[in-house]
Every structure is written in C-alpha cells, then in structure tokens.
Amino acid sequence: MRKILILFIDIFRPYSTSVWKRNERERYRVRCVNNGYEALRRHLPVSDTEKRISKVDTLRLAIRYIKHLEAVLKNEEHIYKCRCFHG
C-alpha cells in the first residue's frame, strides 16, 4: 500500500523547476525548427492546393529546386526544356 501511495504522489507531483525549464526549452527548439521548415516550404515551387508536405519531402524538394536553379544559372535554355519536377 505504501508503494502505491508513493507512486501516486510521484505521478501527480508538479515538475521541478529545472525539468519544467528543460521541457520549455525543448518545446521552443521544436517550434523554431518547425518555423524553419515552414519558411523553407514558402520558397519552394509547390501548389497551394497540395496538402502540407512532410519534413523529409520538404528537404528532398529543396534539393531538387536548388539543383534546378543551378542548372538555370549554367544554361538559360534549361528553363525551356526543364524536366526537373516531372517524376
């Protein structure tokens, strides 16, 4: 019975200040990372009607887009015969 009572108290005891601060820092870090992905998505050539793309797909599309822009800079004709985003 005593172990159950101690376990019950441990479960409902408020976090210590250091644990609360650590959790808050982690939540802030995750928000910043997610904001970074959203900012990147706004610069990528995707249809607004598409559903939100995953973080991995965001990075993959960013890589393809950067390669496309490099090709355009090397050869301006690339933009007319571009197949970078077709499959």
User: Of 67, 60, 68, 69, whose CA–CA distance to 41 is shortest?
Assistant: 60
Structure tokens at 56: 């991995």
Threshold 0.75, pTM exceeds:
no
pLDDT over 80 (residue 80): no
Q: What does the alpha-carbon distance between residue 58 and residue 65 come to, in Å, rounded to a whole number?
A: 10
Q: Which one is predicted more confidently, 86 or 30?
A: 30
Q: Which domains does the chain have, with CATH numbers?
A: 2-81 (4.10.280.10)
Q: DSSP for 34-71?
A: HHHHHHHHHTS---TTSPPPPHHHHHHHHHHHHHHHHH
